[in-house]
Structure 1
């Protein structure tokens, strides 16, 4: 059984040079050890760029009947420039629809996963929702196409809100100067997760895969298991670069315009 992941930097498996920044796809195998997880997510990808730059085509070439394809975009779709922006109820849904159709054409099973919310609090401590209408657009499309939906966005918003501005620092990439060799000057990143945050998101995704009977129960590990940070593996930088370059194929615009 294989699970392919199509997504952005929230999903991607990170190299050692970027640790402890972690995508939830990187740690999903810890909860589904009975399945092979193929993390084809790309940092900086939107639904548009993932399709137009041949990354969906690589997945489609490798899908076989019965595989799952988890599709999670939104964090980058809202950013203008560099051929990545999409309107929530326009091109965003159009490119998600393409992912769904291509998976089904191969006999695989698409699953839509809304993006986790950013860590964004106003001065009064209220959680803001900078992803705007993208999660709603994905929910609408899932219903229209009868595609299983894992609403990581709504779950994460409730989780971040409960933890508050202070408690969520331990879930995102917040490091003080000198705390980690990869970030000697420190970092305060309210978009990307650290190991703990990625583990919590992956635990939720795995839990929904099991609850919705999208995978056989025997494939799952104890979803309540504690995952020490040091047990999470990071890709060798050379392997990361090779996979990033290899997991795409050349596509023509005309080929990718067909629905």
Structure 2
């Protein structure tokens, strides 16, 4: 969980002119404005990873890089989760117990919903997938928080001639349709990441995904080729995409979004994965 806090205090003074306060209207401290929190419900592509996983990182782990310090990020994204299993495990209930008016809930599933042969996780794109997603939307709205749907980030998939191709079937379309029918804000991370991977190409995407040579990382001594998950650079750049597209997100930091190069060490890896501890 990335927490950055700054105290905001406003004094509400009636009838103040040029610093003079009439005796009939004493100075009163106004209500303290609550700092907004962004909650993330999602899967391994968004999760926060531990020291033992370094340099693997999820885009939820990097959201704070592009937000002002008065915004809190609570990343509940869980490795291996689908919209169904996250709900069945009580993880949505955990978020709804903490979420407050003015907060935001980012909801991003699809990778594991596609595992239709797994009864614990698989959903149908046009029936059970939107049915489960509605529970997230309805729960956030009951708490007077703002839900935002985030289509699943694209995997690294290229044809032999270097052309990227889509891998999520009908799940992104189902989420887009749900967003339209429920008037829910949508961040189309499928389309945005697919465009990014296409511009970077097969070689340029390797430093975004978890591609490491043998000996490059003590946590992966034999190397790794993972075309679904990200290393720090990729997580940071995807967080940039999410925040730039998320016009309803509180505290977007325009200066950070304009920075073309952000070092990997802006991220931290906790001792344990927070969503699993």
TM-score (ref. length: structure 1): 0.89
Q: CA deviation at 1:199?
A: 0.8
Q: CA deviation at 1:15?
A: 0.5
> What is the 5 A alignment of 1:20-39?
20-32=55-67, 33-39=69-75
Matched, 1:162 2:199: yes
The change in CA–CA distance for 1:4 and 1:221 in structure 2 (over 3 A counts) is farther
The structure richer in helix per residue is 1
Question: Structure 1, residues 5-56: CA drift from partner, whole Å, max 9, x if none?
Answer: 0000011110011111110000101111331000011000000001111000
Question: Which residue of structure 2 aligns with residue 179 of structure 1?
Answer: 216
Measure the CA separation in 1 of the matches of 2:70 and 2:126.
Answer: 36
Structure 1, unaligned runs of 5 or more: 246-259
Q: CA deviation at 1:130?
A: 1.0
Q: CA deviation at 1:205?
A: 1.0
Measure the CA separation in 1 of the matches of 2:271 and 2:204.
Answer: 31
Q: CA deviation at 1:215?
A: 2.1
Structure 2 residue aligned with 1:63, among 99, 102, 125?
99
Measure the CA separation in 2 of the matches of 1:34 and 1:137.
Answer: 34
Question: Structure 1, residues 130-175: CA drift from partner, whole Å, max 9, x if none?
Answer: 1111111111000000000011110110110111111111110000
Question: Which residue of structure 2 aligns with residue 222 of structure 1?
Answer: 256
Matched, 1:101 2:101: no
Structure 2, unaligned runs of 5 or more: 1-35
Matched, 1:5 2:40: yes
> What is the 5 A alignment of 1:233-248?
233-237=268-272, 240=273, 243-245=275-277
TM-score (ref. length: structure 2): 0.83
Question: Structure 1, residues 213-240: CA drift from partner, whole Å, max 9, x if none?
Answer: 44255x6652122321122111112xx2
Question: Which residue of structure 1 aligns with residue 32 of structure 2?
Answer: none
Matched, 1:53 2:53: no
Give the secondary structure class of the aligned counterpart of 2:128: helix
Question: Which residue of structure 2 aligns with residue 17 of structure 1?
Answer: 52
Which stretches of structure 1, 4 residues or longer, exceed 3 Å deviation after superposition?
none
